[in-house]
Amino acid sequence: MHAAALTYFRETAKRGSVRRAAAALNVSASALNRQILNLEEELGTALFDRLPGGMRLTAAGELLLQHVVGTLVEFDRVRSRIDDLRAARTGHVGLSAVDSLLVDFLPRALDRFRADFPAVTYALDAANPADVPRLVADGTYDLGFTFVGPTPPSLRFEHEVPAPIGVVMPSDHPLRQKREVSFDDVAPYPFLAQAGPLPRSADVDAGFARFRSGLRPRLVSNSIQALKTAIRLNMGIAFFTRLGFLEEIERGEVAWRPFDSPAINALRIGLLVPANRPPTAPARQLAARLVEEMGRLDSA
Amino acid sequence: MHAAALTYFRETAKRGSVRRAAAALNVSASALNRQILNLEEELGTALFDRLPGGMRLTAAGELLLQHVVGTLVEFDRVRSRIDDLRAARTGHVGLSAVDSLLVDFLPRALDRFRADFPAVTYALDAANPADVPRLVADGTYDLGFTFVGPTPPSLRFEHEVPAPIGVVMPSDHPLRQKREVSFDDVAPYPFLAQAGPLPRSADVDAGFARFRSGLRPRLVSNSIQALKTAIRLNMGIAFFTRLGFLEEIERGEVAWRPFDSPAINALRIGLLVPANRPPTAPARQLAARLVEEMGRLDSA
DNA sequence: CAACGCCATGCCCAATCTCCATCGCACGTT
DNA sequence: AACGTGCGATGGAGATTGGGCATGGCGTTG
């Protein structure tokens, strides 16, 4: 990949002698010497001073050496990262996440990841926020996404993004005028609830849980697509993290407004990884990619 | 210098097609394609996805591309710096400096520089601190060293080092016990003065000038070597910047102690370069080297 | 179905790289 | 003063690599 001349030059600079460098690299001194003479001709300047005892770098040589060493070291790093990729080409990754991320963020991230690792299989399951840590800790899943909170020592949040729960509404809804909405603001409006195969989660914020349990949903569905359409058709509003509707918000089809509760607005979702158990190769790659995608969310 | 494969790979990634890249680089598509296949074999992984319309980088390819682009860009920079060196191989540099730097720092720095630029000639002249800026500004000299102070807009201090004037004494001198010495402390001791071909400089600190003018030197010499020896032989003490005696201090032959005057201890010497007029190639190289050597002083 | 774009491959020649042997030079030893 | 030993530089033969040309296989497009 990199020209042999680079290695030759580096070794010669290191050992201060063409012959010693040649011995170290198992090539003949003449071959090595020619490469260095070629380099000097190409750059139009001497790279070494020829002293009776051997070769010493000139100023230009020092400059070039820095570049060459840097290049070769960096290449080693790149190669080992590529080897990691190769090891991760096949395998299985299990992901346990709170449902808001299953709506939009995770399916899309996985789809993009799949393009690079077509032979990897996935399990992508929703779970209650409080259950995710246990599922990752005991190895049922490789990675988890849940609201950030205290973790057992066997787990660690690899990366976090702010993820307040707010109100998702049609783009012409009156609540859109407010920058933040209170529980009282939303009470009058019809409400759409998601009902998955899971028991309803013990909620992250006690006040919010109490508030929502008092509401009577106009529509309950376990189909996210149905809920999205229902919101667009003005059947009601729903409560989700922004992350579930990034694309629709972007296109102006729905609007999202935060609550006026500091506790809710401080909510963060994090990528949970095992701290002790070494992750499988594909899990490591996927985790790295997810952190990247989360960074993109952050800046958006 | 760098393998052609790097350029081939970069161009192919850029254009998304072997044929287009080959056309842009004036080589045949088959030759270029082979190099890429070789790369993939060497790394043991595909770098491109072959789509009907052309080539798209895989994850491993993205990784490698970063490395390759970085390497080639950096090489361009290195090459141009080497070209600068070559342009500076010959020529002349004029340096005007306060005398303390002529004692030790500048001759040694120039000697090291000369090893890399043997064909450059130098003028190295002492001047009064107050005259240096004018001499550099009007082009009489390319570079200057003087005490830092206000400069005309046509000049600029490229780099500065602290350079308080202090007392140079034999290593077993009683004043050595003090961390800082006062004017009164030194008054009882015999004093050695340097007298160059220059009129005695208008001194940098008014209080110090007054103090020194009251002293009667036991020995006046224009030979620095003579002064150094005289100090070692305990004939007296002298007033210099540390920079004039770095080597002797290091070897323990003489000691140096600062005065207790904040004004004197705040003194700095700086490398003065023209801000408008572009410096000659050798002057630019020498200036860069001098800044490097000054940095070494700083940390010493 | 034909035409066109793409990358992959076989073949041949030219350029490059490597090796071995040798040279000239500067030093230290005898 | 002569010699031996280390150094880099160089010449020539042979192996390796890189390049160009022609062609093949494949998918898309008209």
Beta bridge partner(s), residue B300: none
**Straight-line distance from CA B28 to C1' D19, in Å?**
8
Q: Do A1 and B63 touch (CB under 8 A)?
A: no
Q: Do A1 and B3 touch (CB under 8 A)?
A: yes
| pLDDT band (50, 70, 90) for residue B107 | confident
Residue A41: closest C-alpha in chain B:
B1
Q: Compute the distance between CA of residue A284 and CA of residue A272 in angstroms, rounded to an integer.
A: 12
**Straight-line distance from CA A55 to C1' C29, in Å?**
24
**Straight-line distance from CA B81 to C1' D15, in Å?**
38
Q: Do A63 and B81 touch (CB under 8 A)?
A: yes
**A 68-127 residues with CB < 8 A to B:** 70-71, 74-75, 78-79, 81-83, 85-86, 89, 116-117
Beta bridge partner(s), residue B221: B194
Q: Out of B3, B45, B116, whose CB is closest to A3? A: B3
Residue A286: closest C-alpha in chain B:
B59
Q: Compute the distance between CA of residue B292 and CA of residue A200 in angstroms, rounded to an integer.
A: 67
For B269, the token pair is 């010497």
What CATH fold (topology level) applies to the domain B3-87?
A: Arc Repressor Mutant, subunit A (1.10.10)
Q: Check if B65 contacts A (Cβ < 8 Å).
A: no
Per-residue pLDDT tens for B261-277?
A: 898 898 899 999 999 88
DSSP string, A83-103: HHHHHTTEEEEEEEE-HHHHH
A112 or B158, which is more confident = B158
Q: Check if A292 contacts B (Cβ < 8 Å).
A: no
On whether the CB atoms of residues B255 and B173 are closer than 8 A, the answer is yes
CA distance B8 to chain A (A): 12
Which residue is listed with tokens 């790149």?
A: A78
Q: Compute the distance between CA of residue A48 and CA of residue A65 in angstroms, rounded to an integer.
A: 11
Element (DSSP H or E) covering residue B169: strand B165-170
Domain boundaries, chain B: 3-87, 90-156+270-299, 166-265
Q: Check if B66 contacts A (Cβ < 8 Å).
A: yes
Which residues on chain B are in Cβ contact (under 8 Å) with A48? none
CA distance A283 to chain B (A): 15
Answer yes or no: is A33 CB < 7 A from strand D: yes
Beta bridge partner(s), residue A241: A165
CA distance B70 to chain A (A): 9
Nucleotide nearest to B53 (CA to C1'): C6
Beta bridge partner(s), residue A22: none
Average pLDDT of span B88-109: 87
Q: Do A45 and B86 touch (CB under 8 A)?
A: yes
Which residues on chain B are in Cβ contact (under 8 Å) with A3? 1-3
Q: Check if A263 contacts B (Cβ < 8 Å).
A: no
Asked if residue B27 has pLDDT above 60, the reply is yes
Q: Do B83 and A39 touch (CB under 8 A)?
A: no
Q: Check if A37 contacts B (Cβ < 8 Å).
A: no
Please give the pLDDT value at position A181: 94
Asked if residue B21 has pLDDT above 90, the reply is yes
Q: Check if A220 contacts B (Cβ < 8 Å).
A: no
Tell me whether domains A3-87 and A166-265 share a fold: no
Give me the torsion for CA of A55, A56, A61, A66, rounded to 10°. Answer: 110
On whether the CB atoms of residues B47 and B57 are closer than 8 A, the answer is yes
Q: Check if A7 contacts B (Cβ < 8 Å).
A: no
**Which residue's C-alpha is at the least distance from the C1' of D17?**
B35
On whether the CB atoms of residues B9 and B36 are closer than 8 A, the answer is yes
Average pLDDT of span B121-145: 91
Given the candidates 3.90.1150.10, 3.30.70.3040, 3.40.190.10, 3.30.565.10, the CATH classification of the domain at A166-265 is 3.40.190.10
Which class for B297: exposed (0-12), middle (13-18), buried (19 or more C-beta within 10 A)? Answer: middle
**Straight-line distance from CA B24 to C1' D21, in Å?**
19
**Straight-line distance from CA A297 to C1' C7, in Å?**
37
Per-residue pLDDT tens for A221-262?
A: 777 778 888 888 888 899 888 888 888 888 888 999 999 988
Which residues on chain B are in Cβ contact (under 8 Å) with A83? 44
Element (DSSP H or E) covering residue A50: strand A48-51
Nucleotide nearest to A3 (CA to C1'): C17
**Straight-line distance from CA A72 to C1' C26, in Å?**
35
Asked if residue B224 has pLDDT above 80, the reply is no
Please give the pLDDT value at position B13: 95
Please give the pLDDT value at position B127: 86
Nucleotide nearest to B20 (CA to C1'): C6
| pLDDT band (50, 70, 90) for residue B49 | very high
Single out the residue of B197, B160, B95, B137 nearest to residue B294, CA to CA.
B160
Q: Compute the distance between CA of residue A210 and CA of residue A202 in angstroms, rounded to an integer.
A: 11
Bases in strand C with any atom closer than 7 Å to a protein CB: 5-10, 17-21, 26-27
CATH 3.40.190.10 describes domain A90-156+270-299: yes
The ranges of chain A with pLDDT < 70 are 196-204, 298-300
Q: Out of A60, A83, A86, whose CB is closest to B82? A: A60
Which residues on chain A are in Cβ contact (under 8 Å) with B74? 67, 70-71
For A251, the token pair is 């296109």
Q: Compute the distance between CA of residue A218 and CA of residue A214 in angstroms, rounded to an integer.
A: 13
Answer yes or no: is A19 CB < 7 A from strand D: yes
